[in-house]
Amino acid sequence: MEALELLKAQIDAVHPLNESTWEEFSALWSPVSAKRKEILTKAGETEKYLYFVMNGIQRAYAVHADKEATIVFTYAPSFSGIIDSFFTQAPSGYYLETLTQSSLLRIHYNDMARLMGKHKEMEVWIRIAMAHALAGVLQRQKELMCYSAEEKFRALLKRSPHVLNLIPHKYLASYIGVDPATFSKLLSSVRL
């Protein structure tokens, strides 16, 4: 199955699992599809699933005082979900929404927790993956706190140049923390 091969490649890039652990782990993922603009997780709900994106684009976002702030985009081949809520099993502070029709694989928290308890290498894989995710979060925090609007725009395009053609600009503006008008000006004035 192509989906599981992509999943295995992503896992192996972090920390390969032995064949028997992989067989057990891969059997627990189920395919799911979602329509455009579907909320997969609501703020206040506990995230039950870790997703692996096969196609489509999703975003995690927060709402504060009627203002939305996009936290992260996910697209194939990558993991998705409200990860802090998933691993702590505490209510989410964020929404997970599909921006386009999406095909995903998902694993339930109970299955993941059972495997982590059974196989030490699953815990190692999670620890290494979380360390990489934390490094990305810290880099993004630095960008949001220290960079000018133009520097944030350039950092986004350096990291993911293809998003300009995939994601509506209003969400990209939210992601870098500028209003849509400023984003439009950056798009027309910054030489790429």
Give the pLDDT score at 83: 95
In Å, how far are 2, 60, 178 from 119, measured between CA atoms? 25, 30, 44
The range of the structural domain enclosing residue 100 comes to 2-109
Whole-number percent of the chain with pLDDT over 70: 99
Query: Dihedral (C-alpha) 130, 133, 134, 139: value to the nearest 10 degrees?
Result: 170
Q: Where would I find the beta strands (DSSP E) of the chain?
A: 30-34, 39-41, 49-55, 57-64, 67-75, 78-80, 95-98, 102-108
pLDDT tens readout for residues 109-121: 999 999 999 999 9
58 is a domain residue = yes
Mean pLDDT, range 16-35, rounded to an integer: 96
Q: Is the pTM of this model over 0.95?
A: no
> Looking at residues 163-187, what average pLDDT do you find?
91
| 158 domain residue, yes or no | no
Q: Which CATH number does the domain housing residue 54 bear?
A: 2.60.120.10
* 126-171 pLDDT, tens digit each: 999 999 999 999 999 999 999 999 999 999 989 888 888 889 999 9
Q: Does the residue 14 lie in any domain?
A: yes
Helix, strand, or coil here: 184? Answer: helix
Give the pLDDT confidence score for residue 191 in this predicted structure: 74
- In this prediction, residue 37 carries a pLDDT of 97
Specify the number of domains making up the chain.
Answer: 1
